[in-house]
Amino acid sequence: MNNRLMTRLFTLAGILFLSLVTSSIVEVNGQARQPIGFDPAIVVSPAIAAGNDVEAVEKIIRNYLMKNPAVIREAMQALQAQELKEKQERAASQMKELRSEILSDPGSPIGGNAKGDVSIVVFFDYNCGYCKQTVPKLQSILEKDPMVRIVFKEFPVLGPQSWLAAKAALAASRQGKYLEFHNALMTAESTDEDSIKSISKTLGIDYSKLQTDMADPQIDEQITRTQRLAGSLDINGTPAYIIGDRIIPGAIDAESLTNILVAERQALTKAAAKVASREK
């Protein structure tokens, strides 16, 4: 349990206590009810009611929670739901401000149809097992839907070797081989220097030039920019997807991705229709 949740839980407990000492009736879902476990025989001194007797306050709260432990679970569930809602609202606000960086950063490689009507933005790490599972899923979607655009966000979160692999992939894009190199790394057993050199040879990439490009500070800056973007959107793991205004953290199957794409297209069509009707 993190400190923030603990603080909010004890705040909630304090509010609960105040409700107990000020009234024997509380409102729950629009209904007036007596608090669970409330004992109207409890005599509250002025000092307790004023919150001056800290030990007495803590004792009453503890006794109440010990008699009604389910309240703790319910409170935690409510707090977690509230935190998730707040996180989604923050991300939605940030997405509006960062729309261009999310979809049109010139340093982010593009796959599928570069002029597609719907984009899938994917944050990934070459050493992430779940990320490796995204390759066939995305390929399946592209085969069935020629109007999908993929935006690749190199997001190495699993250590120096992941950073090395990300640099190599971005360097390969300068030789027009990003997608081939990306797919090869995703299916490789290792992403170390030997593997990068072997993949380069297989794909006909100039390895000497690749090494030179990997040393370019602009490559590091591109990865750092993606990390900042992820942080602004509360994305802290891989894989993660963005479709429209929706962030999808973690692994997801191809069918679910397809359903989200369908919903996004419908939303775009509806929005375009509204704009057209206002212009008439």
Domain match, 38 and 93 both: yes
Domain match, 192 and 261 both: yes
Q: Is residue 257 part of a domain?
A: yes
Domain match, 122 and 237 both: yes
| Cα–Cα nearest to 245, from 138, 96, 103, 114 | 96
Domain match, 33 and 87 both: yes
Alpha helix stretches (DSSP H) within 115-216 = 129-132, 134-144, 160-173, 178-187, 193-203, 207-214
Domain match, 30 and 117 both: no
Q: What distance in Å separates the CA atoms of residue 134 and residue 131, rounded to the nearest whole number?
A: 5
196-223: average pLDDT: 97
Q: What is the pLDDT of residues 125-148, one digit of tens each?
A: 999 999 998 889 899 999 999 999
Domain match, 164 and 232 both: yes
The pLDDT, as a whole number, for residue 87 is: 74
Q: Is residue 93 part of a domain?
A: yes
Q: What is the pLDDT of residues 187-209, one digit of tens each?
A: 999 999 999 999 999 999 999 99
Domain match, 110 and 211 both: yes
Q: How many residues in the chain?
A: 280
| Cα–Cα nearest to 237, from 133, 125, 151 | 125
Q: Are 264 and 244 in contact, with CB atoms under 8 Å apart?
A: yes
In what helix (H) or strand (E) does residue 65 lie, and over which residues does it extend? helix 54-67
Q: Is residue 277 part of a domain?
A: no
Q: Is residue 51 part of a domain?
A: yes
Domain count, the chain: 2
3-state helix, strand and coil shares in percent for the chain, rounded to the nearest 5: 60, 10, 30
Which are the contacts of 200, defined by CB distance < 8 A and separation ≥ 6? Answer: 172, 181, 206, 207, 210
Q: Is residue 280 part of a domain?
A: no
CATH number of the domain encompassing residue 127: 3.40.30.10
| Out of 56-60, 131-135, 226-230, 247-251, least confident range | 56-60
Domain end marker among 41, 75, 97: 97
Q: What is the pLDDT of residues 27-84, one digit of tens each?
A: 444 444 444 444 444 444 555 455 556 677 677 777 877 888 887 788 888 888 888 7
CA 94, 230, 84 angle in degrees (round to 5)?
Answer: 65
Residue 271 has pLDDT above 70, yes or no: yes
Q: What distance in Å separates the CA atoms of residue 17 and residue 11, rounded to the nearest whole number?
A: 10
The pLDDT, as a whole number, for residue 279 is: 73
The pLDDT, as a whole number, for residue 35 is: 47
Q: Is residue 278 part of a domain?
A: no
5 band by pLDDT with thresholds 50, 70 and 90: low
DSSP assignment of 81-113, as one string? HHHHHHHHHHHHHHHHHTHHHHHH-TTS-EEE-
Q: Is residue 242 part of a domain?
A: yes
For residue 172, give its domain range.
Answer: 100-271
pTM: 0.70
Q: Is residue 276 part of a domain?
A: no
207-216: average pLDDT: 97
Q: What is the pLDDT of residues 85-117, one digit of tens each?
A: 777 777 777 778 899 999 999 999 999 999 999
Domain match, 137 and 242 both: yes
Domain match, 28 and 139 both: no
156: DSSP letter: -
Residue 174 has pLDDT above 70, yes or no: yes
Residue 4 has pLDDT above 70, yes or no: no
Domain match, 15 and 141 both: no
Domain end marker among 42, 65, 97: 97
Domain match, 54 and 16 both: yes
Domain match, 93 and 104 both: no
Angle between helices 207-214 and 193-203 (to 10 degrees): 130
Residue 222 has pLDDT above 80, yes or no: yes
Domain end marker among 76, 97, 118: 97
